Amino acid sequence: MLKIKPLSSLVKVFSDEEPQAKPFEKLSIFRNEKASMQIALTSDCDCKLAVEIVSPFGDAVKAYVVEELYSSMPVGKGQDDYTLRKETGKFPELLRPLEGELSLTAGKWTSLWLSVDPNPALPTGEQKIEVILKCDGKQEKTEFAVDVIDCDLPEQTLLYTNWFHSDCLATYYKVEVFSDRYWEIVESYLKTAREYGMNVVLTPIFTPPLDTKKGGERLTVQLIKVTVNNGEYSFDFANLDKWIDTCHRVGIDYFEMAHFFTQWGAKKCPKIVATVDGEEKKIFGWNTKGAGKQYKAFLTALAPKLKEYLRQKGVADKVFFHVSDEPFAGVIRQYRKASEIVKELFGDFKIIDALSEYKFYQKGLVELPIPATDHISAYIGNVKELWTYYCSAQVDRVANRFFSMPSQRNRILGCQLYKYDVKGFLHWGYNFWYKRLSVGEVDPYQETAAGGQFPSGDSYVVYPGTDGKPLISLRLRVFYDALQDMRALQLAESLLGREKTLEILEQGIDKPLTFAEYPHSDEWQLEVREKVNDAIKQALKN
């Protein structure tokens, strides 16, 4: 006997537990919007199901099987109770494209995930997606009603970077950095990143000094070729040029240059290799003082050449520079020295850093601070351009996207970003397939917690496919829904005004929406989006 439950994309279907969510059978979308829904399935015997999808959307509808992956560290220290499970075990995570029949194991729940991709030729109005499941001459079916609104969402205004680790790609696929195959794989992963909202890319002008053990180093992916002859520096931007062209091909237009100083305080220099009098060697790294004369002289030689190149390339107004990632109060003096160097040399560009100590901004040490979501309150209304981020430490009340968290906790971010008019969002792990501090590589299908150091889901949102193309997580799809929610709210504002849009967003909730206060409810999340869509439809009729 086959049991079927149509569900929203916010439900995580565990193999050992019947999902308790209400059936989900209807939604509305805009013509250029991605949409997801799923069907939870179980059977009292092992069986293989033939899946047939009948709809007017044609190839725009794709089917995936949700696979569970094991987590040795489901939760972070101090994580609150808005969590699905805190014990180690398997969690629904990977969206693997359905090829052939769908296999069911007796007594186990499986999820069939359906995706509707944007298509300008989508028929508008209410349409049906019928899913027919066949086994041993018998068939069951279920259907979804999809109301396609005759309108497009506006372009994404949010600047979004999910740190792109090209060294992890080279390591996993065992390809030489800057080989033809390397560039093919990089472009494939960039294309998927852009498809899911990333429009700013971490650009390794030097090997990024991020998540690296003191004294250790990551695979060299330095885009700027440095030559030293008789003590004089020269620079070759050919690989940087290729990187920017690759990004432009997939639609990424903003470039976040790798940090000029080491993480957590700017004490040392990034690894920089150069050809010195004909011999390749490391000229800067852990043995070099960050704000020392030698490194400043190097940056002084680089700055005019790099800025000239960026201007000639036509991207100067879409570039961000970094000093050091996540400095804390105890290193403010060292950060000040490094910051002054960067401002002196690159002050005509935007300088951003992820940090949460407000005094760094108060003292003028960073132009565009990026506070964590649990520290953002001090910055709201006090900075000229509000950005935010979350990572492994944001576990109490605020949004995040760990395996263990409900998908609604992932999706709520879009509503929060809209309400507070956030201009940029940063996350550090698009594809970090190393152990913490890059002390070794991991198989991301087997080790999902960076060697047991970060909650599963913090380090990456994509998985390596065998063909050099990424497979995506359900968390990436849900996060993109959050970005689409933000765009829908912006569309509503353009038609109804901001006051009315906020009224719709917060209608019926007990407390004003903040980064820490929001309804813990799938139904609310889905309903508020439908209310926004209905308001837009009515406004378009008038």
> What pLDDT was estimated at residue 240?
98
Q: What is the pLDDT of residue 165?
A: 98
Are residues 396 and 316 part of one domain? yes
Q: Is residue 433 a part of any domain in this protein?
A: yes
Residue span of the structural domain in which 72 resides: 2-152
Identify the domain boundary among 152, 172, 198: 152
* Boundary-marking domain end, from 445, 464, 489: 489
pTM: 0.97
Looking at the structure, do residues 261 and 147 belong to the same domain, yes or no? no
Backbone dihedral angles phi then psi of residue 367, each to the nearest 5 degrees: -75, -45
Residue 528 CA to residue 537 CA, distance in Å, equals 14
**Residue 349 lies inside a defined structural domain of this protein:** yes
CATH of the domain at 25: 2.60.40.10
Domain count, the chain: 2
Together in a domain, 53 and 191: no
Q: Considering the domain boundaries, does residue 323 fall inside one?
A: yes
Task: Tell whether 57 and 177 lie within a shared domain.
Answer: no
Res 71: pLDDT: 98
Q: Are residues 396 and 341 in the same domain?
A: yes
Residues of the chain below pLDDT 70? none
Residues 314 and 444 in one domain: yes
Predicted local confidence at residue 121, as pLDDT: 80
245/191 same-domain check: yes
Query: Do residues 4 and 10 make contact, with C-beta atoms less than 8 angstroms apart?
Result: no
Question: Tell me, what's the pLDDT at 122?
Answer: 81
Q: Which two tokens stand for residue 227?
A: 């030559």
Residues 144 and 167 in one domain: no
In a domain? residue 504: no
In angstroms, the CA 176 to CA 220 distance is 10
Residue 512 lies in a domain: no
**Residue 501 covered by a domain:** no
- Judge whether 133 and 51 are in contact, CB under 8 Å: yes
User: 538 lies in a domain?
Assistant: no
Buried b (16+ CB within 10 A) or exposed e, 313-335: bebeebbbbbbbbbbeeebbebb
Claim to verify: residue 368 and residue 471 sit in the same structural domain: yes
| One domain, residues 195 and 302 | yes
Same domain, 63 and 147: yes
Q: In what order do the strands lie in the sheet with 232-236?
A: 232-236, 225-229, 272-276, 279-284
Task: Kindly state the tokens that stand for 368.
Answer: 């565009």
Distance of alpha carbon 431 from alpha carbon 315, whole angstroms = 25
Q: Domain boundary at 152, 175, 206, which?
A: 152
Residue 226 domain-assigned (yes or no): no
What CATH number corresponds to the domain at position 402? 3.20.20.80
Q: Are residues 410 and 475 in the same domain?
A: yes
